[in-house]
Chain A
Amino acid sequence: MRVVIVGAGEVGSSIAASLAGSHEVVVIDIDRERVESLQYEVDVLAIQGDGASLGTLEDANIRDADMLIASTDDDETNIVTCGTAKTVNADCFTISRVKNTKFLETWRHAEGAFGVDFMVGTNLLTAQTIVSVIGLPAANDVESFAGGRVQMAEFRIEPESHIVGQTVQEADRFDSLTFAGLVRDGDVIIPDGSSRIEADDEVVVIGSRDSVRQFATEVSPDDNNNASNVLIVGGSDIGFHTARLLEARGLKPRMIERDHDHARALAEDLPGTTVMESDATDREFLEREHVDEVDVVVAALDNDEKNLLACLLAKRLGAERAVAIVDAGEYVDLFEAVGIDVAVNPREATAEEITRFTRERQAENVAIIEHDQAEVIEIEVDSASELVGRPIREAITDLPDGVVFGAITRNGDYVVPRGDTVLETDDHVVLFVDAAVVEQAAGMF
């Protein structure tokens, strides 16, 4: 597939890097230095120019492209770029990244509007990520598969957790749950029954919704089963959408916003949220509002440092968990190291979503683990596949190393994958796969 990416910022270059291995990628950016450095870092063709102009797109040979990804920081530029590409190549699949949710709403209302075939709303996506993380105590990442019957979740194992030191076999007490992978010091390990779980590991589990939830309470039993007391600091667009999504789940979150007029506007748009006009660093105010009883603090201010400060203060005053939005990708690990439970990077979330989408056109659903070292994918078993009719124990020997069967759904029912489970046509299998062998493994089903 020939892919043109417009905008080589954090999002664009991250997508380019993950697609370069299996596709022909052309990257366009207006900044000459960035174009040059990208040329050397990744195996792509980089062109300097304005992606919204037809001339530049022609230079990138847009007429032969199968896909265009507009991922600059400017919403209007991205949308116009997609529209421009469509004028010369109507078959080109266009993906646009937008921050402002109003464009996303228009696009959803009339799919294909603006000449955009797929639109990724950065702010909304980030809010959705935050809400799904809030929904499952202790999880840093949650994705659903097979129409919601299968869930993948990534947990960080705190040193106090009592599964530290246990083997995978001992920890896996749930029938419909598979320990698919461990992330230790940034490396992905495929565990077997005897692998020992250490503090600060991240475990990736795949299973039914209930079993994942039970495991979540097992990992950190002190957590409330349902985070219900949520405090959002900062009424940014992401903060607003987080509150809105939480309201839709029936929660009554609280929000702190400093600006008088903005606080009023938020309060008008969020009937289920208590908006408070104050400074999130006002300790006396936080104590009066009983921050110590808060289950989750979400820092959604417009500045990374302020988010860090707000989260640390809230945790110090007794808040259970802290989720921070981190705009600079390189801070994510740093934030999590100093005590932020989950750091969400909007750009990373966007890049993942776009990469996911390009993959999804082959697989049915994809989740990306630890900066794309591994992926969780959902595939429907084709009748022509040579794996049909064979038990998993045999099938696994034909598949490349680094593939774990996480779950199977057959005619809508959950099937626990065991060594003697025989694969059938039209089964939906959810696999944990090392990123290096994704294409190879996916091709065998």
Chain B
Amino acid sequence: MSRLRVDWRSATSLVGSVLKYLAVPLVLPLIVAIGYGEDVLPFVATMVVTVLVGLALERLDDDPDLGAREAFLMVSLTWLSVAVVGTIPYVLAGWGTQSTLVNPVNALFESMSGFTTTGATVMGSIGFDRHSHALLLWRQLTQWLGGMGIVVLAVAILPELSVGGAQLMDAEAPGPGIEKLSPRIAATARALWLAYLGFTVLEFLLLYGLHHAGYAPNMHLYNAVAHPLTTLPTGGFSPEARSIEAFSAAVQWVIIPFMVVAGTNFALFWRAFQRDGPVFSKDGEFRFYAGTMAVLSAVVAGLLFAGLGPGLASIAENVLPIPGNVERAARHATFQVVSIVTTTGYASMDFNTWSQPAQYLLLFAMFVGGSAGSTGGAIKIVRWLVIIKSLKRELFTTVHPEAVSPVRLGGRTLDERAIRGIYGFTLLYLVIFFVSVGLLAINTARVGYSLDVLELMSAIAATLGNVGPGFGAIGPMNSYLDFSPSSKLFMVFLMWIGRLEIFPVLVLLTQAYWRS
């Protein structure tokens, strides 16, 4: 047996450093709990546990030294341990009540779904009659913390992570490779978080402003805080049982651009802020991102306007009839397409009532994903763009075998290795998707829980891509509660690897990583 080549003590020690700081954001639900006169124990207990565990892990190595290998381990473990610690408030708060989150498996599902910004829920019923304001806010907050990245936040704040920071961010940030915006990685991380925070505050101001202007009666202070916390990270949790359907058309229109922002490369905002000039129109990825959403929205809007679909007649009472109404067709189509493409997972209405073609387009949209360097999940639009461009080149070189044609993205040429990496990732993603659909089908059939193929596929696409809701039994107004515990744990795994873009986790499962 050869010696381990990975310094797991360093990696775990750094996980401890990050974990102990998780006590800081827990202060927010604690204050809310005090304000509403609710139980503070779940949050105090979690703070104690996270600090103690964090300090204990930190003692594993006095002077942690981070290499490329340790970065993968550290990032993967951080996300896993944060999700585990995040279950404590759900379990404690639910103790002795009818809450489904008392079950640790359900609590872990909800916590992982939160931190990975998936937005899939196993709550039996969402509402303040069963859950405290503080707990539901904690649920929102987990998504906000996970959105821009826990490790990116740690790099921004913790000086001990500055040396290996670029590798850590690379392992965590969505998309192929990170873009250093400044000479110091910590400054880059801070810039990203600052832009993220800025947009969150802006959305809060707009939503709360609508409430005061009388356009959004139920967008009171609590809701106006809770929703930006899950819009910008492309999360999708809502303290309202019927998601964004519960709000007025004005609120839905305001949320759409913020979902678009959340799915945009945050480095673009940084650059637009630094210097003037057309940053967005010149960026190939952004143009493709905006174009894809515009085309999909237009097609879906057309389908809704025409009134195709048997279910449209039986929609909820507060949703006004859509067929023949331009504003409503455009609003629901755009909202849903943007919500799914950016992997947010909000719903402006129950899209289970939509026609087959419209639902199919949404399933397709689940694989598109946001931009690189955004908070969105799934495959990411930039990978599709590179794949389309390199396939075009393939066709060209079939006719002209001697032609040397590099793939260009935004004026820069892409390294062939990067293209290979993109093909590899996309193929792996699709293979995992199909294998997982099979495994889930077997496991649900085993316990006698029957789902059709579209439902099964949407469940896997929605968890692996961190989208959230699927179709049918797991639609936006339903939950993942009815799956068996083993299926839920499997989906926890999918959310975990999906958020970290598969490789950082999967590499831990190879022998070459640990030895040689």
Chain A residues packing against B (C-beta within 8 Å):
256-257, 263-264, 266-268, 271, 274-278, 285, 289
Contacts and interface: CB of A to CB of B under 8 A. Distances in A.
B408 A275 contact: no
A275 B405 contact: yes
Contacts of A289: 400, 402
Contacts of B406: 264, 267-268
B404 A276 contact: yes
Contacts of A278: 402
Nearest to A256: B402
A289 B402 CA distance: 10
A2 B408 CA distance: 53
B404 A271 contact: no
B413 A285 contact: no
B408 A271 contact: yes
B339 to A, nearest CB: 36
Most central of B402, B405, B408, B413 by chain A CB within 10 Å: B402
B509 interface: no
Contacts of B408: 271
A233 B405 CA distance: 17
A267 B397 CA distance: 14
Given A276-B404, A278-B402, 14 more contacts: A264-B406, A267-B406, A268-B406, A268-B413, A271-B408, A271-B411, A274-B405, A275-B403, A275-B404, A275-B405, A276-B402, A277-B402, A277-B403, A289-B400
9 contacts: A263-B404, A267-B404, A267-B405, A267-B406, A271-B408, A275-B404, A276-B402, A277-B402, A277-B404
Using C-beta atoms within 8 Å of the partner chain, give the interface range for chain B: under 10
Interface string B391-432: 000000000101111101001010000000000000000000
Nearest to B414: A268
Interface of B: 400, 402-406, 408, 411, 413
B404 A285 contact: no
Contacts, number: 31
Contacts of A256: 402
A275 B408 CA distance: 14
Contacts of B413: 267-268
Nearest to A264: B404
B400 to A, nearest CB: 7
A285 B403 CA distance: 11
A277 B404 CA distance: 6
B392 to A, nearest CB: 13
A129 B196 CA distance: 54
Contacts of B411: 271
A257 B402 CA distance: 10
A277 B413 CA distance: 18
A294 B361 CA distance: 46
Nearest to A275: B404
Contacts of A268: 406, 413
A139 B173 CA distance: 58
Contacts of A274: 400, 403, 405
A278 B406 CA distance: 16
A267 to B, nearest CB: 4
Closest 8 CB pairs of A and B: A276-B402, A278-B402, A268-B413, A267-B404, A263-B404, A275-B404, A268-B406, A276-B403
B405 to A, nearest CB: 6
Nearest to B413: A268
A263 B400 CA distance: 15
A289 B413 CA distance: 25
Nearest to B403: A276
A275 B411 CA distance: 17
A255 to B, nearest CB: 9
Nearest to A282: B402
Contacts of B402: 256, 276-278, 285, 289
Nearest to A262: B404
A29 B411 CA distance: 46
A266 B405 CA distance: 10
A264 B415 CA distance: 11
B104 to A, nearest CB: 54
A277 B400 CA distance: 10
A438 B402 CA distance: 52
A111 B408 CA distance: 34
Contacts of A271: 408, 411
Contacts of B400: 274, 276, 289
Contacts of A285: 402
Contacts of A264: 404, 406
A271 B411 CA distance: 8
Contacts of B403: 274-277
Nearest to A271: B408
Nearest to B397: A276
A256 B402 CA distance: 9
B401 to A, nearest CB: 9
Contacts of B404: 257, 263-264, 266-267, 275-277
A59 B34 CA distance: 94
A267 B396 CA distance: 14
Nearest to B396: A274
Nearest to A266: B404
A274 B403 CA distance: 7
A273 to B, nearest CB: 10
B365 to A, nearest CB: 31
A267 B402 CA distance: 12
B83 to A, nearest CB: 43
B122 to A, nearest CB: 50
Contacts of A263: 404
B478 to A, nearest CB: 50
A263 B397 CA distance: 15
Nearest to A267: B404
